């Protein structure tokens, strides 16, 4: 990735990170989720910046329910640069809403909006009119249910003209920005064009592409792909995941190098794709691709996977046969080579698998970082990697003297097995064969030369180091520390590929101890930063729940380890909730309350519920119910009894059949409310059925509501993300 240097005075035809940073700062001063006061301020800012560029800007407003019953009113911002030809248009996309309720949204996704604003400004200054139209879409309500993208893709007249989408996103606050491709078919054409565009710092590989294709994912691009079959490229960074969706997603913490990286993608891609043919990016074929130094992005077709594998296997068998014949290989030592291999995989596998669970028991406060990536997470990754290497050296010390070439046979056997499995089940990872060829070359040298040059052998380990070292870090960062086993096993597998260099080492035991000492050093450093402070603040949560039917009230928290702030309310009388009635409340990881405590009943008005229609037509009972907030409200969640819902509309928007058939926890809808808007339900059920609605109306004003005196959080606390927080929740049930 590029390294940032101050560039505010860069000539005006270039992308300047400093100029983009000004936009980030202006957009991330306050939380600006849908329905929040600063939401429209950020929208006005973007519109005025686009207008300053001389672009005619429009908005598109409307309700959508997304795919998961997350309902909101979104207001998209749109602008368009005319192209000179009639081809398909290029869409630049990012979203301007931040995550409710406390995120400042500097990385997610002010960084993306700023990249587009600065990139388009520089592009227009270059004065080279594009062939294709360029559409700019700054979408809304991405954080709630991809509602803005949904609204655009399913309702806007421009959508049919789009050939390719470039989307700028964030899931942390730093690190490299990875290119992730979304397509319903093969990637070959898009990858070809991406390589032709020649971005300077491509960070992408087809392993991630294959994994991503297997997971259910949700970015704005998913809506374009699923609903309109449009190809897209995501550019998203995932390091420093602990900042994601928190109050620390702020201007200061956005990594400047990362923002420069986003710009380094946008400029060449914008230039390339606004002049190339976007009508024909669909391809039935897939390519393997990966990035390595000097070569940027390397790719080859999936068709090569099996020939390359066969070549490697034939090469291996030939070298084995020749080596045994000229006695440079020896059966007994080859057999002994399997012992350290299994030892290393077993020990590192077990430690990687149970390590994180053990650490969570020692440090229970880690459970309150719901992301699963703690502030000291990088120290833990380093510790586990060093441990895995120590085990590697120790195991090869244990087997005593053996010729290196004999020790290479077991790892080659393992790697070829792995490559065969990958070729069948995870094709995108088939570039794993490249370092195996390098290892075969080392075997050739070792079996045919008396005193091979260590430099040549070192050179042959470079592919392994280049390809695997970034992945060793990327997996636990991307998937969370619970997946530490990916780091320990990948380190072990990489270690095997480095054996031509490590094998002849005389001091393996001493090296093992040294690495172990270093490992303890990182564990110790992690221990001393396992607590919380102003810089690394503890996520805490507090909710006041009023049961409007029973007229009782409770304090509730999602904290596992209470902070002194939470403990003011969740006191000695706390209990663990014994019924799961609140567990279905929307939260990213399905988190339930950990403790509740008695609370005084306050006089807060529940929503007004009016039934405007309740009639039977044929076999159906049709109901129309209007729910109007009687106070400042941010969210209304509605659940039903176990009833078969034939049809449902929310504020005239239909919930899809698929959703109604696959509802979880009997959730009907979550309405993220703007301007205290009402929720009008039209529901059709079988005529003999009863309908029971459970309403949970939440406002995020617990800390500034005059009925309460909850003090502000201390400096070393931040609002816990992903859950309902700092909220006043009213629950009410009604039967019809």
Q: Which residue lies nearer to Zn ion by CB, 189 or 245? A: 245
Nearer to Zn ion, 109 or 134 (CB): 109
Residues 357 and 355: their CA atoms lie apart, in Å, by 6
Q: Which of 193, 32, 59 is nearest to 136 (CA)?
A: 59
Nearer to Zn ion, 245 or 574 (CB): 245
- Helix (H), strand (E), coil (C) string for 367-404: HHCCCCCCCCHHHHHHHHHHHHHHHHHHHHHHCCCCCH
Output the smallest distance, CB 108 to Zn ion, in A.
Answer: 4
Whole-angstrom distance, CA of residue 439 vs CA of residue 464: 9
**What number of H helices and E strands is found in the chain?**
21, 23
Q: How far is the CB of 105 from Zn ion (least distance, A)?
A: 8
Interface mask toward Zn ion for 555-574; x: CB under 5 A: --------------------
- Cβ of 706: how many Cβ atoms within 10 Å? 6
For the bound state, the minimum distance from the C-beta of residue 245 to Zn ion, rounded and expressed in Å, comes to: 9
Cβ atoms of 174 and 148 within 8 Å: the answer is no
Tell me, by CB under 5 A, how many residues bind Zn ion: 2
- Give the three-class secondary structure for 206: helix
Site for Zn ion in 80-109 (CB under 5 A): 108-109
Closest distance between Zn ion and the C-beta of residue 170, in Å?
6
Between residue 106 and residue 165, which ones bind Zn ion under the rule CB under 5 A? Answer: 108-109
Residue 265 or 384 with smaller CB distance to Zn ion: 265
Contact call for residues 629 and 622 (beta carbons, < 8 A): no
What six digits make up the tokens of 434? 């490249």
- Name which of 221 and 308 has its Cβ closer to Zn ion: 221
Angle at 619 between CA 670 and CA 625, to 5 degrees: 30
Q: How many CB atoms lie within 10 A of CB 616?
A: 10
Minimal distance in Å, beta carbon 103 to Zn ion? 9
Nearest to 512 by CA among 396, 405, 345, 408: 396
715: Cβ contacts below 8 Å, ≥ 6 apart = 534, 537
Closest CB 93 distance from Zn ion, rounded Å: 11
CB nearer Zn ion, residue 258 or residue 328: 258
Cβ closest to Zn ion, residue 93 vs residue 702: 93
Closer to Zn ion at the Cβ: 407 or 723?
723
CA–CA distance, 476 with 483 (Å, rounded to integer): 5
What is the token pair recorded at 529? 């930063």
Q: What is the nearest approach in angstroms of Zn ion to the Cβ of residue 55?
A: 23
C-beta closer to Zn ion: residue 49 or 108? 108
Q: What is the dihedral sign for C-alpha 333, 335, 340, 341?
A: positive
Nearer of residues 20 and 109 to Zn ion, judged by Cβ: 109
Residue 168 vs 387, nearer CB to Zn ion = 168
Note if the bond before 2 is cis, omega within 30 degrees.
no
Compute the least distance from the CB of residue 107 to Zn ion, in Å. 8
Shortest Å, Cβ 169 to Zn ion: 5
Q: What are phi and psi of 392, to 5 degrees?
A: -60, -50
CA distance 359 to 366: 9
Nearer to Zn ion, 109 or 729 (CB): 109
Binding mask 586-625 for Zn ion (x = CB under 5 A): ----------------------------------------
Smallest separation (angstroms) from Zn ion to the CB of 373? 17
Query: Nearest approach, Cβ of 137 to Zn ion (angstroms)?
Result: 14
Distance CA 453, CA 442 (A): 10
Q: Looking at beta carbons only, is 105 or 463 nearer to Zn ion? A: 105
Burial of 715 (0-12, 13-18, 19+ CB in 10 A): exposed
- Please check whether residue 173 is in contact with residue 371, taking contact to mean a CB–CB distance below 8 angstroms: no
H/E element holding 200?
none
Alpha-carbon gap, residue 300 to 287, rounded angstroms: 5
Q: Are 236 and 262 in contact (CB under 8 A)?
A: no
CB of 220 vs Zn ion, minimal distance in Å: 8
Q: 135 to each of 55, 280, 665, 722, how far by Cα in Å?
A: 11, 18, 40, 32
Question: Closer CB to Zn ion, residue 108 or residue 559?
Answer: 108
Nearest residue to Zn ion by CB is 108
Output the smallest distance, CB 112 to Zn ion, in A.
Answer: 8
CB of 147 to Zn ion, least distance (A): 13
Q: How far is the CB of 305 from Zn ion (least distance, A)?
A: 34
Q: Which is nearer to Zn ion, 109 or 408 (CB)?
A: 109
Nearer of residues 108 and 368 to Zn ion, judged by Cβ: 108
Nearest distance from C-beta of residue 258 to Zn ion, angstroms: 14
Site string for Zn ion, 332-351 (x = CB under 5 A): --------------------
**Which residue reads 């391809």 in tokens?**
283
Backbone angles phi, psi at 350, to 5 degrees: -65, -45
Min dist. Cβ of residue 129 to Zn ion (A): 32
Bond prior to 101 in cis (omega within 30° of 0): yes
State how far the Cα of 68 lies from the Cα of 146, in Å rounded to an integer: 10
Please report the beta strands in 158-203, taking only residues with DSSP state E, as ranges in sequence order.
162-170, 174-182
Of 521, 315, 506, 337, nearest to 411 (Cα)? 337
Rounded to 10 degrees, what is the CA torsion of 695, 700, 705, 711? 130
Nearest CB to Zn ion, comparing residues 249 and 697: 249
Closest CA to 168 of 73, 274, 265: 265
Residues engaged in binding Zn ion (CB under 5 A): 108-109
């Amino acid at each position: 990735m590029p390294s940032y240097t101050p560039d505010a005075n860069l000539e005006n035809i270039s992308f300047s990170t400093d100029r983009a940073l000004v936009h980030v700062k202006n957009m991330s001063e306050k939380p600006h989720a849908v329905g929040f006061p600063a939401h429209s301020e950020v929208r006005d800012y973007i519109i005025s910046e686009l207008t300053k560029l001389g672009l005619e800007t429009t908005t598109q407003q409307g309700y959508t329910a997304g795919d998961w019953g997350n309902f909101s009113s979104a207001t998209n911002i749109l602008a368009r640069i005319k192209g000179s030809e009639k081809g398909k248009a290029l869409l630049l996309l990012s979203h301007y809403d931040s995550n409710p309720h406390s995120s400042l949204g500097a990385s997610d996704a002010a960084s993306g909006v700023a990249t587009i604003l600065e990139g388009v400004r520089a592009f227009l200054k270059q004065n080279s009119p594009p062939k294709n139209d360029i559409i700019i879409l700054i979408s809304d309500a991405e954080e709630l249910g991809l509602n803005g993208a949904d609204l655009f893709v399913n309702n806007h007249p421009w959508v049919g003209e789009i050939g390719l989408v470039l989307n700028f996103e964030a899931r942390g606050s730093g690190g490299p920005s990875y290119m992730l491709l979304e397509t319903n078919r093969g990637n070959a054409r898009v990858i070809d064009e991406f390589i032709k565009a020649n971005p300077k710092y491509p960070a992408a590989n087809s392993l991630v592409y294959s994994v991503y294709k297997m997971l259910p994912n949700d970015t704005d691009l998913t809506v374009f792909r699923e609903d309109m079959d449009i190809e897209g490229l995501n550019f998203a960074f995932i390091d420093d995941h602990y900042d994601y969706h928190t109050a620390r997603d702020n201007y200061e913490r956005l990594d400047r190098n990362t923002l420069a990286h986003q710009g380094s993608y946008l400029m060449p891609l914008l230039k390339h794709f606004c002049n190339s043919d976007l009508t024909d990016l669909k391809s039935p074929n897939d390519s393997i691709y990966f990035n390595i130094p000097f070569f940027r992005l390397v790719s080859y077709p999936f068709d090569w996977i099996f020939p390359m594998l066969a070549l490697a296997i034939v090469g291996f068998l030939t070298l084995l046969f020749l080596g045994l014949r000229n006695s440079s290989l020896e059966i007994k030592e080859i057999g002994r080579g399997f012992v350290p291999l299994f030892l290393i995989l077993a020990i590192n596998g077990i430690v990687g698998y149970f390590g994180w669970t053990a650490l969570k028991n020692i440090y229970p406060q880690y459970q309150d970082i719901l992301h699963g990536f703690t502030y000291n997470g990088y120290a833990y990754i380093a510790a586990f990697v060093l441990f895995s290497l120590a085990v590697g050296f120790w195991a090869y010390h244990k087997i005593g003297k053996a010729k290196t070439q004999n020790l290479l046979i077991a790892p080659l056997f393992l790697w070829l097995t792995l490559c065969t499995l990958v070729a069948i089940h995870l094709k995108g990872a088939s570039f794993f064969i490249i370092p195996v060829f390098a290892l075969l070359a080392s075997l050739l040298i070792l079996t045919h030369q008396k005193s091979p040059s260590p430099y040549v052998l070192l050179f042959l380990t470079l592919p392994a180091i280049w390809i695997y070292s970034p992945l060793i870090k990327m997996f636990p960062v991307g998937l969370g520390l619970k997946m530490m086993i990916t780091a320990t096993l990948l380190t072990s597998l990489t270690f095997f590929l480095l054996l031509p260099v490590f094998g002849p080492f005389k001091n393996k035991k001493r090296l093992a101890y040294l690495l172990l000492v270093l490992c303890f050093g990182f564990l110790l450093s992690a221990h001393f930063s396992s607590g919380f402070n102003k810089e690394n603040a503890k996520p805490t949560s507090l909710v006041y729940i009023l049961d409007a039917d029973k007229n009782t009230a409770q304090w509730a928290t999602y904290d596992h380890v209470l902070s002194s702030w939470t403990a003011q309310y969740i006191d000695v009388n706390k209990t663990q909730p014994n019924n799961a009635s609140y567990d279905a409340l929307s939260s990213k990881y399905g988190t339930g309350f950990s403790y509740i405590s008695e609370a005084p009943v306050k006089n807060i008005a529940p929503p007004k519920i009016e039934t405007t229609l309740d009639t039977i037509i044929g076999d159906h009972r049709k109901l129309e119910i209007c729910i109007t907030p009687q106070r400042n409200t941010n969210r209304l969640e509605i659940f039903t009894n176990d009833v078969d819902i034939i049809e449902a509309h929310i504020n005239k928007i239909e919930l899809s059949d698929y959703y109604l058939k696959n509802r979880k926890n009997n959730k009907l809808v979550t309405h993220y409310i703007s301007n205290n808007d009402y929720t009008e339900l039209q529901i059709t059920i079988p005529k003999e059925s009863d309908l029971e609605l459970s309403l949970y109306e939440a406002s995020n004003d617990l800390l500034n509501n005059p009925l309460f005196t909850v003090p502000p959080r201390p400096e070393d606390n931040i609002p816990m993300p992903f859950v309902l927080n700092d909220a006043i929740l009213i629950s009410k049930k009604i039967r019809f």
